[in-house]
Amino acid sequence: MDMGLTGKTAVVTGASRGIGLAIVRALTGEGMRVVAASRTISPALKETGATLVTADLSTAHGPEEMIGRALAELGELDLLVNNVGGGDTAGDLVGGFLGTGDDVWRQVHDLNFLSAVRATRAAVPSLLRQRGTVINISSNSARIPHTGPVAYATAKAALTAFGKALAEEFGPQGVRVTTVSPGATRTSMWEAENGYGAAVAAAHGVEHEHFLAGLPSNAGMTTGRFVEPDEVAALVTWLASPHAGSVSGADYVIDGGAIKTV
């Protein structure tokens, strides 16, 4: 299916690996001109052919500066994908609520929520002119917060609510806003030796490999496996396309059946 995206422009945050990298590959594969923003530039990201921008999106001015550079490279924007998330606080997120201090709360919310607020605020004037699209990458933890660290889950819940509010405000002006909420996805967050998955495994006294093998079933994923980044990217590509022209304000869960409620 032709997605009708050839020649359109996009900004993708958190693009160096995982879901963000898969999204950049999918959008460039559809003929979009993409600015890929990340704190570090991976070799795999360089291979996509996207325009690369380094930025720390957890800072107050990082997202605005990143959007300014994207506008200079691309002209007007047709799509903003707020994907950046996770963070470097994996070891600080496994101690429960009482073990999570203010600094960690600020770091997690700056990266997982406020980065999207700031980037969207900077991009909206151009998106309004283009009748463009915003896609926020949230998490199924926003709906089942007991499955993730409390700081992360509440930041993602805020991001999901933010998307719904934006859709209501800017939908009548031609800007579509949607949310994608993956469950456990095969990324470095779970698989890296110094990532969140390894920290959780260590906290429970189990081998990291054994923890990963059991995670899908323990999370209630009826597919019995992790979500693949390319699967999330395919959904994002469709939502960005004219084929989803009547979709706005929706939150698409892609979590292998982990959420059981209607």
Catalytic residues: 152
> Amino acid identity of 138?
S
From residue 233, alpha-carbon distances to 20, 73, 119, 161 in Å are 8, 23, 20, 21
CB 251 within 8 A of CB 164: yes
Which structure tokens are listed for 144? 């089942």
Provide DSSP, 172-201: GGT-EEEEEEE-SBSSHHHHSTTSHHHHHH
> Amino acid identity of 194?
N
Looking up tokens 């700031």 gives 118
3-state SS assignment for residue 127: helix
Q: How many Å apart are CA 210 and CA 207, to the nearest integer?
A: 5
Backbone angles phi, psi at 93, to 5 degrees: -105, 0
